[in-house]
Amino acid sequence: MNFFSGFFKGFGNCFKAFNVIFNKGLWPFLIYPLIIWLITWILTLFGIVLLAEYLTGLIKGYFNIGDSSGFFAAIIAILIKISLFLISGTFSRYILLIVLSPLFALLSEKTEAAITGSQFPFSFKQLIKDILRGILITLRNFAIEFGIIIICTILSFFIAPVAILTIPFLLFVSWFFTGFTMLDYSSERHKLKAGESTDLIRLNKGYACGIGCVYWLFMILPFFIGDIIGIMFGPAVAVVGATISFLEIRKNRYDDVSRF
């Protein structure tokens, strides 16, 4: 289907998620990511500070920058911390997706059950498969996205005007892979193999980008209170929106995957 049509459908479905979350008793799923995020945030922040101090010391020693060069030392420390925070943002997003993978799979299942009335009997074996698949898909997406980020960063460094194109391109890449992860929970539940799920999502990349965009908008809310709101609503809204989108894709047969 048309990319932009799918984008706005996926985007809109995420806001339909509020009705499902609060009217179908799924609101506890807003709390669980917040608890995990707080633990991850504290550990990440502590690790970044220690790593930044270590790297600053190495660079100062290598370039023989003494304590008397306070200004240059401060600039180096600031640049290192900014770079580490930017890189850690990508890492943190994927760590959160990996850690919360079982929770998101369960939320997606409960969402479909609430919407369609379908029941999915619990299977410990299937749960383990869902968790492993979610982790592998997330790691795969991380490797691809991080590789694209590195290539675009190198291009922008050597050809500065290219940044006009690479920055919005990287945004769409981030949105796509986030939406991909959220949609794949439904693909797994409906027994699509990884390759079939990939084909399905590529054919409906607009949906994936729209879902990822909503997730991103929540995650960039400013200040600490914005972080809390973003973590509470971003993942849950994206997962529920992705489930609604997946059911919509199946119903309208927008894809060419034979299993549909």
Kindly list the averaged pLDDT for each block of 10 residues, start to end, along the chain of length 260: 88 93 89 78 67 64 58 58 56 71 85 86 74 80 84 76 80 90 88 85 92 90 78 90 93 51
Q: Which residue has the tokens 């669980």?
A: 32
Q: How far apart are the first and last CA of the chain?
A: 16
C-alpha distances (whole Å) from 98 to each of 18, 168, 244 are 24, 25, 22
Give the model confidence (pLDDT) of 54-94 as tens digits: 666 666 666 665 555 556 556 655 555 555 555 555 566 66
Instruction: Say what the pLDDT of residue 129 is.
Output: 76
Instruction: Say what the pLDDT of residue 238 is.
Output: 94
Residue type, 43: L
The dihedral sign for the CA sequence 57, 58, 59, 60:
positive
pTM: 0.74
Instruction: Say what the pLDDT of residue 176 is.
Output: 93
Instruction: Say what the pLDDT of residue 47 is.
Output: 65
- Which backbone phi and psi does 242 adopt, to 5 degrees? -65, -40
Q: Which residue has the tokens 């971003």?
A: 234
Taking Cα atoms as reference points, which of 166, 153, 201, 195 lies closest to residue 180?
A: 201
Size (the chain), residues: 260
